[in-house]
Amino acid sequence: MKTRFAPSPTGYLHKGHIWSALCVAAVARAKNASIHLRMEDHDKLRCTEHFADIIKKDLEWIGFEWQSESVQSKRNEIYEKHFETLQKKNLLYELYKTDKPKIMFKNPEGNDDFAIKDALGQWTYQFAVVVDDFEEDMDLIVRGEDLKDSVDRQITLAKILGRTQMPIFIHHSLIYDSSGKKLSKRDGSDGVIKEREGGISPKKVLSEICRQMLPNKNIPSEISWNEAVNLL
C-alpha cells in the first residue's frame, strides 16, 4: 500500500502538520504502506521554494521519513491530460464572478459543482489532489477531518477520470488553539521552525503535541518520533 503526506508550501509547518504527519506514519506502519511526500504548490501566489525547503528540514528534524516525493508544479502535462478528458465529456463550464472566469466541474451526481481552475488559471486543490492520488497510485489517504466533506466529490471525479479502485480514506482529529480555532498558516500559527532554530528538542515538541491530542495517556516530557507513532 501507499499513502502520502501533502503539505502546501505557503508557510511554515505548525504543530497541526506534525500531528497529521504522525497520523500518516502511524497508519502507514499499521498497514505496511510506503509514504510519499507531495508538495502541493498549485497556489502560485502563496507557495515558495523557501517554504518547501524549510518544510523538508522541519520534517527531517522531527523524525518523519518518506520513500518518494513529487511536486505539483512539475506535473502540468498530467493535469492537462485529465482536463481534456473532462472537456471531451462536456463536464466543464465557465463561472464569472470577476472579469476572469473560474473553470467549473459539472458534477453529474448532483449540484455539488466545484472549480477545476481558479480565476487566475491555476489548478485547484480539489482537481489536482484527485489526479495526483490517481496517477501516483495512492490507495490510502490519511488527512484532517476538515476534509471529510470532500470525499464524495473527489470519488465522483476520480471515477470520471478513469479510476476504478477507490482509495481508503481515514480522517484524523485536528489541533485547535486556545480560542478554539484550528491551527492555520493563513492565520499565522507559529511554525515549528521557531522551536528548531531556538534549540528546542524535537522530542519535547512531540511530547507537547501528543499530550494535547492524547490526554488519557501517560506521556513523558520528551519522546522520540518512533515512540510517538507507537502511541497512536
CATH of residue 156's domain is 3.40.50.620
Cα gap 160→85, rounded to integer Å: 9
Judge whether 29 lies within some domain. yes
H helix count then E strand count, the chain: 8, 8
What is the domain extent for residue 152? 2-73+134-231
Q: How confident is the model at residue 195 (pLDDT cuts 50, 70, 90)?
A: very high
Instruction: Report the number of distinct structural domains present in the chain.
Output: 1
Per-residue pLDDT reduced to its tens digit, 20-32: 999 999 999 999 9
Kindly state whether residue 50 falls inside one of the protein's structural domains.
yes
Domain annotation covers residue 100: no
Q: What three-state secondary structure class fits 205?
A: helix
Confidence of residue 183 (pLDDT cuts 50, 70, 90): low
Question: Could you tell me the pTM of the whole model?
Answer: 0.91
Q: Are the beta carbons of 209 and 215 closer than 8 angstroms? A: no
Asked, for residue 181, whether it belongs to a domain, the answer is yes
| 35-64 per-position pLDDT tens digit | 999 999 999 889 999 999 999 999 999 999
Per the domain annotation, does 116 fall within a domain? no
